Amino acid sequence: MGELYMPRHVGIIMDGNGRWAKKRGLPRQIGHTYGAQTFKNIARYISKQGVKVLTLYAFSTENWKRPAEEVNAIMKIFHQYLVDSLTDFRDDDIKVVFIGDRSVFSPELIDLINESEEVAKDRKGMLLNIAMNYGGRDEIVRAVKNICRDVKENKTDIESISEKDIEKYLYTANQPDPDLIIRTGGEHRLSNFLLYQAAYSEFYSMDILWPDFKPKDFDKAVEEFNRRNRRFGGV
């Protein structure tokens, strides 16, 4: 294969932390700790490959259904990541933003999220979307509510509503749609991830559990992406 075309926007569903720990006789939350380290390593590697936008699915709107002990552990890891993020990725020039409904988090977490984004806002490198308390359906509902508000306030009329109007109210407004979505853990579903944006994304699933995901596995996914014939509904 010749020179590879690097997707502009990559989404990753980071699945398998709990199973990784269970295979080793460890508590599920330990898997999340190892998964968080993989997240940092892989984000840095992908940034160096020339990807413009990376969206990592960290915690979904449905993940609150998990055992309280596991959810609490994830929130502690998230808190520590936010503390670290004030300096993390600075040398890599990665711009970090958080997508999802942050209103449910503690005031301390919300302040840390805002501070992390403020610290990174002028960076010029890869845009890293971290999806926390994110759900694709919830995102679409949020967009619809905002459009309804615009109609009610006479900022737009129903007949003129277009795809562009929906897109500008998504968390990923002004970003390219994902070219490639990778899922670890062997499952073959989107699990409410970027539902609107993924209309023509290439999907690649691998059996590797997220803590074991390495740069070579990303390279393999990109190689497969380059074999795909993307027709976008055409012939």
Residues with catalytic annotation? 15, 63
d(Cα 37, Cα 30) in Å, to the nearest integer?
11
**Residues counted in the chain:** 235
What values do phi and psi take at 95, rounded to 5? -90, 120
- Check: CB of residue 179 under 8 Å from CB of residue 201: yes
Q: Where do we find the tokens 């670290």?
A: 84
Q: Report which of 33, 103, 114, 34 is spatially closest to residue 75, judged by C-alpha positions.
A: 33
- First and final CA of the chain: distance in angstroms? 24
DSSP state of 121: T
User: Taking a C-beta distance cutoff of 8 angstroms, is the pair 74, 35 a contact?
Assistant: no
Strand boundaries in the chain, DSSP class E: 9-13, 53-60, 95-99, 127-134, 180-183, 202-205
Helix (H) or strand (E) holding 218: helix 215-227
User: How big is the CA angle at 110 (ends 11 and 108), to the nearest 5 degrees?
Assistant: 135
Supply the DSSP symbol for 99: E
Question: Residue 143 half-sphere exposure, CB side, CA atoms within 13 Å?
Answer: 23
